[in-house]
Structure formats: C-alpha cells, structure tokens
Amino acid sequence: MKRLPNYSLLWVSFIVFLCTGCNPASQLSVSSPDGNLCLHVETENGKLYYELSRNGKPILDKSRLGFILKEDTLAGHLEITEALHHSFSGTWEQIWGEDRIVENNYHEMTIRVQKTSAPKRKFNVVFRLFNDGFGFRYEFPEQEALKDFVIMDELTEFALTGDHKAWSIPYETHFYEALYEASPVSKLGWVSTPLTMETNDGLFLSIHEANLTDYAAMNLIPKEGSMTLKANLTPWSTGEKVFMKAPRVTPWRTMIVAESAGDLLLSRLMLNLNEPCRIQDTSWIQPGRYIGIWWTYHMHKHTWHTGPRHGATTANALRHIDFAARHGFQGVLIEGWNKGWDTYHFNFTEPYPDFDLKQITDYAASKGVTLIGHHETDGWVSDYENQLEAAFNLYKDHGVQIVKTGYVGKLLDGKERHSSQFGVRHYRKVIELAADKHIMIDNHEPVMPTGLQRTFPNLMTQEGVRGQEWDAWDKDGGNPPVHTTIIPFTRGLAGPMDFTPGTFRFENPVLPQTRVQTTLAKQLALSVVLYSPLQMASDEIENYERNPEPFSFITTCPTTWEQTIVPEAKIGEYVTIARKERGSSGRWFIGSITNEQPREMQLPLSFLDKGKRYKAVIYRDGDKADYRTNPYPVIIEEQEVTGESTLQIAQAPGGGTGIILSVLSSSGATSDIQK
C-alpha cells in the first residue's frame, strides 16, 4: 500500500485572525501568507460581497456572492453570523507532474451566512489565500430548511478594476477547440475559463475553478457597462444549472495573481485546492510517451472503419509495436479496432475480424510495449456506460492499462453539453471505474480540467484544446505559430493537455493549403513546452525513420519532472521552459518557441547546479529555416556550459529550440545513465 507523504505540516485554527496587510481589527479579512494579498468580506443592504487587494491596491472591487435557487434566493436578506480562520503549511509529492514536490501554504477564512427571513436557510463561503492567488467555494451544511434543491443561477462575480488585456475562447466553442484571441475585458462575450489577463500594472491574472465535482462548469459573462465578470454555469437541456442535496460543496472559484507570465505557469494553486490522492496503490500509474496509428487516418492513407484501407489491422499493429520497442516508447495507440466505425454505434468489446486483440497484446508484452486502448463514443454516453465495465474488463484481461476516450458528438446523448452537470457526472464515473480497474485515462472532448488528477492520478491527460490534428484538416490552413505561445498560459493552466506534437512531415496531400505551421525544431521544443505525462508523437513512423537525428530528442525527452522553471515568457510572442528530469541523472530539458516573428533567445543558465559542468546538446533552427518556406533544417550541436553561461540562439519565424543539458564527470564524459 503506497501513500503520498507530507514532508512538513503546520495547522493553526482560531476564531480571530490578525491579517498582515489587512485591517487588523477586522474579523472579516484574511491575507496571504506573505501578506501581499488581502481579501475582505462584508454585507451591504443584505447582499454579500468580497473584494481583493494586493499591497493595498485593488484587484477586485466589491464582487457579489450568492445563488438563485428554484425554491428560494440566497442573494438578499443575508447576514454574516460567524467568521472562522485557520492556516496551513505543508508539502505533498506528485506521482507525476511538472514538479515532484508541491508547496501548499495558505490562510483560510470561513464565513457563515444566514438569511434573515424565514426559513433562514444557511450557507458558508470558504476563502483560501495563497501567495500566488486565492480560491473560494460555497458550502451547504445539513439543515432542515435546505435538503434537495436546484440551483438556477450562481451570482458569483469578479469585479475587475481595469479593462485588462484578456485571452479567451467563446463558451459555445465545441470541445474548447478554438484559437485564443486577445481583447480588452470590455469586449469579451460569454467565455470559457481559464480566462487569463494582463493588467496595465504588469500583473497577470487567471480565473478558473478547481475540483469540479457533480456540478456544472463555470463560464464567465460580462455584466453590461462594467468590468465585472459573472459566473455563468453550463445548464442542463431543461434549463436548470445544478441539482444538489445538502450537505454539499461547490467547486472552488480560483484566481492566480502573478508578477510575470512565467509565474502563471508555476502556480500549483488549483492542484492544492483538490483533494489528496484516493488511490492507495499507485505503482501501476506510469507516465510515458507513445506512438499511434493515427496521422495516417488524417492523411487518408487508412480508414477507421473496416475495409481495404483499414488501419487497425493485426499486421499494422505489430509493425508499430516493433518500432515502439526499438525506440523506447511506452505504448502504441490503435484507433479503429472495434466494430461500429461505419455507423458510429460502437461495440467496445468486439474487434473487427482483421484485428487479433490477444495476438497483439501478447506480442506487445513480449516487446515491453503496451497497447493503448481506444473508446470513441460519438457522445452517446448512456450506451457507453452500459458497456463500460465489460469494456474495461476486456482491456484488463489483455493487460491494457491506458485507454483514450472520445466524445466527438456535439451534445452528449444528443441533448446535454459536455460541461454540464450531466457531463461532469459521466466523466467522473469513467475515471473512478478506470481507477478501480487499474486503467489510466486520456480523455478527449472533455469538460475543461480542474485539477482532478491530484485525487485520481490515473486521469493522465485530456484534450480540450485545438491540437495538432487541426494542422491536418483545418480548411483555414492549420494552427498559426502564435497558437502554441498562448495556450500554455490559458488552456495549459487547467492541466495536462494532449496536444500531440511531433509531426515531422509538413506537406499535406489531402489539403495542400493546410499543414503544420512550425519549423521542425519547434516540433521538438513543444515536447517540453506543452506538458502532458502521456504524450503522443503524432506522425507516421516512416517520417521518423527518415529523420533519426531530430527524432532522438523526442525519444530522449521524459514526460514527468522533478522541477520546472520558466526563464522567459511573453504571452503570444515566446516562451522558454526548463524542466529537470526525475531521478539521479540531473539532466535538464529545455523547450523554447516563438510566434511568427524570428527572435534571438538569450538564456542564462543560472538554474544549473553551481560548480558543475554540463554538456549542452542543442537542436536549433537551421540558418535559413522558416515555417512558411523552409521548415525542415535543424542543426544539432554540442557545447560545454556551466551555471554562469548564457546561451544565445537564433530562432526562425515559427521556430524553436530544444536543449538537453547533461552533467559532465570530472573526466568530461557523461555517465552511462545520461547517455
């Protein structure tokens, strides 16, 4: 039985809490541990509000709290009956993640609220302030006056103090697969979260939610004539937002407050607001990299359904398994193996006749490779749930421990939105049953992630992003280079994303006007920049065989990390991320990317261990590389560096750089483990 350790722990509970940087006489205020952030709560004319400041300067003006219920309102005639405070300081260890050890330090205030009018229904609001932001959630305690109830609207507001620059996608975007656009807050429509903003004062804010459990996802909509954003929950098809039964809690409403764009990427606030791991034995949960029979479908070489060009055949699967074994990949994804692709009414336990599941899984096991299973539902979740246990049991019996799920139907069961309470309940059912069967999940067309991977680390990665597949079939030409310089700061803040980088061929015979709009070196760098503990190398294996030297960066790069730092970042322009490998090697992997503009990366290596020498293997754009006209040239070179070195590397338009830093021994060689 394996449990994650707490390395340090400090817990202090008390009724009256003195806030550094807040009004010391106010019981209704709470500060962050470093005293920079201060949150205050009050009632005015029977309505409940909160406000937030940083070093005395407002970030959020009076922002309303409360609900409209089907049978009542929890919006007016409110009074605060008590305020409770406590603090927590500790650390916890991630099974996989961007950092192995996570600090969890906060000050908390619980406000108990009651209606002054009969039947005097009650609720609480719990606020947690961290040094890098805050979260709050509502609690509905057990009470005679509120048992089963229906939420028709949540009144939560974020009353911003300026017309900040914001990066957003519309709420109505299918599966969150859109290009993030920058605009002033005043020009926003109904948008999804995370919503990331840059203030005129140089602060960076991002609004999202944590621990979305049996509730509707939160979206944001501006209140007319103001800089106030209001929570707007995804409704059921019948109009209700959430069906609840006390005692219950809502998800956390969160805001990261950071001094730089890079600091947004280092916040672990959302993870800290999720519950600790519920899986006692986590030894079977293994991050890694995989390939698949996938890109050939987009290139129309193969079909998902059976026929003369069927891709998921036994012979094709064995060929990919051999390739994976030669190059150290964990698994092979086979889409189109099961019956139903011709009608989109799927059978999750019956393979097509040309796919021998036992032969393939036995052969994969003999090669040290796993078959990655696939369940596309087309959004018919009731049909999927009826087959779910049998489908997982089939995979478990054949040693398949990773399953990619998909929901390409625009509505679940033809009527409910993916981010509704209906969808949230379904996704959780799949994750929990998968955990019971020792199966890891890669979920496509999901609800936007909210940190649930801390509680159920078998939820390895999710899509919910306009990924590399758009570079195969988007009639507008594919993802522009700027796209990957934005999504780490928007969708990436929600959790791991299965973007599937690693395409090496830039010609598209199906849609000649559409292709991957990067250089080859940028494709390598994306393996580091876009975090996912299960990461797919997207291209056909023949294209890797033709480019063995650049391919070596992908096969060497890990997918889980000891530590992550962000030396430089400007949203929409460039980002450089350095990640330290777990284990004793001491290696660092660096990914740096730019948008459509060329640039020169200047990277101080001050994060390296003092007194040690490193070999830097640099995969950079060739001198005449350009994503539009000449994407292929990659130069691979080596040099010796220390923590006092600064790397200066030119990046082409739409380009990037991948770097591996390995510790040198006293003799100037790398140890066996580092080669």
CA 389 to chain centre: 27
Does pLDDT of 15 surpass 70?
no
pLDDT at 5: 39
> In angstroms, rounded to a whole number, what is the distance separating the alpha carbons of residues 79 and 113?
6
Note whether 282-464 and 467-532+554-675 share their fold: yes
pLDDT tens digits, one per residue of 339-394: 999 999 999 999 999 999 999 999 999 999 999 999 999 999 999 999 999 999 99
Mean pLDDT, residues 139-164: 97
43 token code pair = 């009632």
Sheet holding 588-594, edge to edge: 561-570, 574-581, 588-594, 656-663, 614-621, 634-641
Q: Looking at the DSSP assignment, which residues form a beta bridge with residue 92? A: 6, 102
pLDDT tens digits, one per residue of 128-137: 999 999 999 9
Element (H, E) at 636: strand 634-641
pLDDT at 103: 98
The percent of residues in the chain predicted with pLDDT above 70, rounded, is: 95
pLDDT at 26: 64
Q: Note whether 503 and 295 are within 8 A (CB).
A: yes
265 token code pair = 């990427």
The pLDDT confidence band at residue 641, using thresholds 50, 70 and 90, is: very high
Q: Note whether 658 and 545 are within 8 A (CB).
A: no
Strands 288-293 and 331-334: parallel
pLDDT at 23: 59
pLDDT tens digits, one per residue of 17-60: 333 346 544 689 999 999 999 999 999 999 999 999 999 999 99
Q: Note whether 456 and 279 are within 8 A (CB).
A: yes
Q: Strand (E) positions, 146-284?
A: 148-154, 157-160, 165-168, 181-184, 191-192, 195-198, 204-210, 218-222, 228-233, 242-245, 248-249, 252-258
- The domain limits of the chain are 6-272, 282-464, 467-532+554-675
The pLDDT confidence band at residue 12, using thresholds 50, 70 and 90, is: very low
Q: Note whether 399 and 331 are within 8 A (CB).
A: no
185 token code pair = 């807050």
Does pLDDT of 9 surpass 50?
no
The pLDDT confidence band at residue 593, using thresholds 50, 70 and 90, is: very high
> In angstroms, rounded to a whole number, what is the distance separating the alpha carbons of residues 611 and 614?
10
Q: Note whether 655 and 598 are within 8 A (CB).
A: yes
> In angstroms, rounded to a whole number, what is the distance separating the alpha carbons of residues 490 and 492?
5
- The residue count of the chain comes to 675
Q: Which of 98, 469, 562, 581 is catalytic?
A: 469
Strands 459-462 and 440-443: parallel
Element (H, E) at 326: helix 314-327
pLDDT at 27: 84
Does pLDDT of 307 surpass 60?
yes
Mean pLDDT, residues 281-308: 97
Concatenating the DSSP letter of every residue in 513-554 gives T----S-HHHHHHHHHHS--SEEE--S-HHHHHT-HHHHHHH
The pLDDT confidence band at residue 157, using thresholds 50, 70 and 90, is: very high
> In angstroms, rounded to a whole number, what is the distance separating the alpha carbons of residues 207 and 185?
13
Q: Note whether 587 and 660 are within 8 A (CB).
A: yes
* Residue found by looking up tokens 């190398």 in the block: 537
Topology at the third CATH level for domain 282-464: TIM Barrel (3.20.20)
pLDDT at 665: 84
CATH code for residues 6-272:
2.70.98.10
The pLDDT confidence band at residue 548, using thresholds 50, 70 and 90, is: very high
Q: Note whether 374 and 406 are within 8 A (CB).
A: yes
pLDDT tens digits, one per residue of 438-476: 999 999 999 999 999 999 999 999 999 999 999 999 999
Mean pLDDT, the chain, rounded, equals: 95
Report CA-CA distances (Å) from 419 to 118, 343, 407, 509.
34, 26, 12, 36
pLDDT at 670: 60
Mean pLDDT, residues 516-537: 98
Mean pLDDT, residues 582-602: 97
CATH code for residues 467-532+554-675:
3.20.20.70
Active site residue 469: yes
